[in-house]
A = this chain, B = another copy of it.
C-alpha cells in the first residue's frame, strides 16, 4: 500500500490503530513496576519489533517469544540480546535457523520432554530452560520430573538456564486476593522444580498476574498484553489503558442499526465480541460488525468508529501493520512483522 495517511480520518479501514502515547505510558508504568530484566516482554501479544524497540528504550533487553519466527525476526531487527522461545518445538528446520543466530544473541529454548531436548540438541541449540507445568493443562513437564530432564540436558552438554511455568489459567481470576493465593500455590510448585533444576532463571507470569510475584521467588515476568491491552484484561482494573483499536468505517446504516467494516478477519474472536463505546455490538461477520447506539440514532454511513478487541493477541496477528496516532495525527506505521510461525 503506497497511500500514507496523515490524519486518522484518511486511514483505510479496517485498520489497526495504536495510540503511541498510551502505549508508551503503559510501557513506562510497567517498567517502573518491573524494571529491566525483571520483565521479559512477551512478543506473542504484539508481534511488532517497532513496539519492542519502545520496550528496549524503557530498559528491557530480554524478550519472550512464542514462535521461532518471533525469535528470528527480533534478532534480524537487532532488538533484544536475550531471547527465550517459551514454547516447545520439534521443527528441525526452525530450530536450526535459530541455532545459526546464536552468535548474534543469547537464544534459549524451552523443553519439557526427551523429544524436545533431543530436537534442540540435534539442531545445535546450546541454552535451554525447563518448562514446568504449574496447573494450566498445556505444555510443561510435571514439577517432580523437571530435575531429571535438566540432568539429561546437562549430560548432553546443554546449558540449563532455569525454569519457566506459566500460570495462564489464573490470568482472569477476578478477585485479587484469590488470584494472589492461587498464583502463590502455582509458584510453590515452580520453586520446587527450580530447586531441582538449578540455573538462574525462574520465569513466569503475565499481564494478569505481573504484580503478584513480589514474594513468589520468580526472577522475571513474561507479560506482553499490557502495552496495548484489550477489553478482557481491562476487567481486572490494571494500571494500563487501552492503546489499540481496530478503526472502521460505517458502510451501512438504518433507523435500527449500523454496520462497520470490522469483522472476523480483523478481530480475534476467542474472547467474544469486540466493544464499541456507547453502542451495543450485535454480532460479527467475516467483514462486518452490526451494532446499535445505546441512545439516539445509529451513526451515518462514512462515520469512523473505534472497535475495541476483546483479545489483543489474535487481533494484532491478523493485521499487516498498525498506524500509530498522536491524537488524530498519524505519526508512524509499525509493521506487524513477526506474524506467522
Residue positions of A touching B, CB distance < 8 A: 3, 12-14, 44, 66-67, 87-91, 93-94, 112-113, 115-116, 133, 137-140, 142, 168, 249, 251-254, 256-257, 259, 261, 264-266, 268-270, 282, 284-288, 290, 300-302, 311, 313-314, 317-318, 320, 339-341
* A282 engages B137 (CB within 8 Å): yes
List 27 A-B pairs, Cβ < 8 Å: A14-B341, A66-B287, A88-B251, A88-B259, A88-B301, A89-B261, A90-B301, A113-B252, A113-B253, A113-B301, A116-B252, A116-B301, A137-B256, A137-B290, A138-B290, A168-B285, A264-B270, A264-B314, A265-B314, A266-B341, A268-B269, A269-B269, A269-B270, A269-B314, A270-B284, A286-B314, A318-B318
* B138 engages A313 (CB within 8 Å): no
Residue of B nearest to A44 (CB): B286
Residue among A256, A270, A318 with the highest chain B CB neighbour number at 10 A: A270
* B254 engages A142 (CB within 8 Å): yes
What is the distance, in angstroms, from A6's C-beta to the closest C-beta of chain B?
Answer: 14
User: How far, in whole Å, are A284 and B268 apart by their CA atoms in the complex?
Assistant: 12
